[in-house]
Structure 1
Amino acid sequence: MQTVLLTGFEPFDQDPVNPSWEAVRQLDGVQFAEDVQIVARRLPCAFATAPECLVQLISELRPAMVIATGLAPGRSEISLERVAININDARIPDNLGYQPIDTLVVADGPAAYFSTLPIKAMVKAVRESGVAASVSQTAGTFVCNQVFYRLQHLLAGSQVRSGFIHVPDQSLMALSSLVDGLRVAVSVAWNTPVDVREVGGQVS
């Protein structure tokens, strides 16, 4: 059985729940192909521990694909992230009270990594399922971007495709819609070797 590792984050910034984990946990164990199963795990919302936790999970599970998810407050769509940048610049402290400003995610690492997922095909399919989705050009500069960058750095040059999805909070998208959208996104990511070519950019 091949594994798709799907991660979400614990709550942060005094929120009681994090919809990324609430949605992902409902997909744990889902088998969307004859020999492919989703394994869902929760990451801490902390610069010091989240990447190491992800590295450990990848080492233990040896997944064939990895998709990390996180909350993007204020966004109303499922956001398929295009690029992770090599910078930590936290607007608020993380759950351990750490607030890095203008530090590198990986010393001597490249300025950025692109997702290796077919993000435009995923957006197209999620929209066609009735759930709002878009390509996002920024994963921010908080723990989500750090995890995204470390994920791409770790798997660079390997055959394991990976990327990051930001989700809205539950005041802007029902949890059931979020779960359905992620289910479609994961399935399309697995079954689409080459991304579609269509508009996904933004003016600003």
Structure 2
Amino acid sequence: MRVFDPNISTFLIGVGGHAKSLYESLESVDSKLIRYLDPLKADWLESLGIAKISQEDLEKELSKNPQVIISFLGGTSEALKKRLELMKLYNNMGGTLPIITHSRSSISARSKIDDGCQVFAGAMVNAFSHIGFGAVVNTNAVIEHDVVIEEGVHVAPSAVILGGAHIGSNAYIGSNAVIIQNTRVPEGVFVKAGSIWNKE
């Protein structure tokens, strides 16, 4: 398990709205150690003293085992799959993929959080749940006890996943959706915002 280290060089991939929430989770970091990669210039990052880096220069830096944080690439199964592939690529090239947890999230000591996960402000992960590689638990989402979330899943703001549920890889759980206890969401499924999922 690799927890974010504010003293190690860090590269942020993608600079959209999700990246702004990610940055809020990096409260303790010295901005001089962060650079970003995106086709677009990010004025909001540069105003914080964070410079842009080219793909070529990033690949050179990967030999030094920096931290790489991948932002959100869109709310579809294909976008989540692409993000997961990108994470594994950078990991194989030498980058480390730290766990990002906001200081106002609540994570049980009896849960398991894999590398590359992002847990945002107000989110809760309860006992004996397992959050898989690269998954995102967004703002105010609730993961109840004994839940399994496979790799690459995105749990959108204020979604609730009740005890014993199993979420397949690269699934997207929309805002305010409720996954009923002991049900299973298959790989790559998009659960609509505000809906109730009660399928076995």
TM-score norm. by structure 1 comes to 0.30
The structure that has the greater radius of gyration is 2
Higher relative contact order structure (alpha carbons within 8 Å, sequence separation ≥ 6): 1
Structure with a larger share of its residues in helix: 1
